[in-house]
Amino acid sequence: MFKLIHTDKSTKARLGKLTTAHGEVDTPVFMPVGTQGTVKAISTEELKGLGAEIILGNAYHLYLRPGLDIIRKAGGLHKFMGWDKPILTDSGGYQIFSLATLRKLSDEGAEFSSHIDGSKHFITPEKAVDIQRIFGSDIMMILDECVHYPAARDYVEQSLELTTRWARRAKEYFSRPETIDHRPKTSMRQLLFGIVQGSTYLDLRKKAVDGLLKIGFDGYAIGGVSVGEPENLIHEVAEYTASLLPQDKARYLMGLGTPPDIIEAISNGVDMFDCVVPTRNGRNGQAFTWSGELQLRNAAYKEDLRPIDDKCECFACRNHTRAYIRHLFNTEELLGLRLVSLHNLHFYVKLIQLSRAAIREDRFGDFKEKFLSQYRKR
């Protein structure tokens, strides 16, 4: 359940509270990505230490490996991975269309071959709900078709109609009292979010929103962004779509992005984010700081005895230098990728915490302007 607490006076940025079966989450919020039931190289204790409030798991990956039986036996994904705070799971729609091979779409569902061993699978909107019920996800996503950019208008329109029909089936199935639910009966129910598609066609985005609002969901995600389109279109589509969504429901921009992307989207009224960038880029030595992006493997840092960011209070910055971290990457020591991942996640969490404070005090516009003017992209 989402409660809107305050809207910034100078932008559309919002402060809210999302209540789930595993606790409350303040929004805006950044969700570290734990695709395989782990935020790569980071323990759940470290995640809590840096202030992560909710993480994302991926239904497609976890359904294929380790599979539903072991997660059910473990008592759900929270117990299986040792994380007792909220989890949002993606339905797998995006991965079926980006990773799986030999996929065949029908009104009934999506048939595909696993990218791991070629085994055949068939996922329907109802099965995507069942899978996420077995996981015990606090927030489930509907099965959708994620269309890449560029896509012909006719195709997008047809795809959108399919996604809307799937959304209706998912909601109907989710609402049936006899649908399996493996969680203790005392906790609040799982939440189900709809996903707005429509590519870069604004009128189709509107049609998608109208279709989903008629069905009614606990929250709404803006999907199919950052799938190859130019940067200005990403924000135009996100801003327009966010403006169509109801005030009293959470808005989640899927799979975005860099720190400037997130700040831009917050100012457009988006509440929730997930992105692999802080960990994936961290494993390659790229650090995000208040002054911009650094590639710590560069020779320039060989004798640089400053921390990654002198304003940062993370474990890496309190204890280690750029020169040391460069040395770790140079010698392929695992600690290097862990330190930069930890720093990056800490930075994202801090960026969001300071954004919340700025919204609360009606100065998010100034905060955004100052942040963007100091931030240098590589």
Instruction: Spot the catalytic one: 90, 138, 218, 271.
Output: 90
| Longest alpha-carbon distance in the chain | 64
* Site map (CB under 5 A) of Zn ion, residues 71-110, x = contact: ----------------------------------------
* 90 among known catalytic residues: yes
- Least CB distance to Zn ion at residue 192 (A): 36
β-sheet with 23-27: strand ranges across: 2-7, 14-20, 23-27
- Least CB distance to Zn ion at residue 337 (A): 14
- Least CB distance to Zn ion at residue 69 (A): 40
Pair 57, 71: CB distance under 8 Å? no
Site for Zn ion (CB under 5 A): which residue of 61, 169, 322, 343? Answer: 343
Other beta carbons within 10 Å of 151? 18
Helix axes 364-374, 334-360, angle to 10 degrees: 150
Q: Of the two residues 192 and 325, which places its CB atom closer to Zn ion in the complex?
A: 325
Sign of CA dihedral 358, 20, 207, 144: positive
- Kindly state the number of chain residues that form the binding site for Zn ion, as judged by CB under 5 A: 5
- Determine, following the binding rule CB under 5 A, whether residue 317 of this chain makes contact with Zn ion: yes
Determine the interface stretch with Zn ion among 10-18, 138-146, 224-232, 307-315 (rule: CB under 5 A): 307-315
Q: Of the two residues 343 and 356, which places its CB atom closer to Zn ion in the complex?
A: 343
- Determine, following the binding rule CB under 5 A, whether residue 312 of this chain makes contact with Zn ion: yes
Pair 91, 141: CB distance under 8 Å? yes
- Determine, following the binding rule CB under 5 A, whether residue 314 of this chain makes contact with Zn ion: yes
Of 106, 202, 194, 213, which Cα lies nearest the Cα of 153?
Answer: 202
Instruction: Spot the catalytic one: 8, 218, 274, 309.
Output: 274
- Least CB distance to Zn ion at residue 312 (A): 3
Q: Of the two residues 9 and 311, which places its CB atom closer to Zn ion in the complex?
A: 311
- Determine, following the binding rule CB under 5 A, whether residue 196 of this chain makes contact with Zn ion: no
Q: Of the two residues 218 and 309, which places its CB atom closer to Zn ion in the complex?
A: 309
Q: Of the two residues 340 and 359, which places its CB atom closer to Zn ion in the complex?
A: 340
d(CA 205, CA 197): 6
Determine the interface stretch with Zn ion among 107-115, 134-142, 263-271, 317-325 (rule: CB under 5 A): 317-325
- Determine, following the binding rule CB under 5 A, whether residue 349 of this chain makes contact with Zn ion: no
Q: Which two tokens stand for residue 14?
A: 């919002």
Other beta carbons within 10 Å of 327? 16
DSSP 3-state helix, strand, coil percentages of the chain (rounded to 5)?
45, 20, 35
- Determine, following the binding rule CB under 5 A, whether residue 287 of this chain makes contact with Zn ion: no
Q: Of the two residues 294 and 314, which places its CB atom closer to Zn ion in the complex?
A: 314
- Determine, following the binding rule CB under 5 A, whether residue 340 of this chain makes contact with Zn ion: no
For the chain, first and last CA: distance in Å? 39
Q: Is 68 exposed, middle or buried (0-12, 13-18, 19+ CB in 10 A)?
A: middle
Where in the sequence numbering do the catalytic residues fall? 90, 274
Q: Which residue ranges make up the site for Zn ion (CB under 5 A)?
A: 312, 314, 316-317, 343
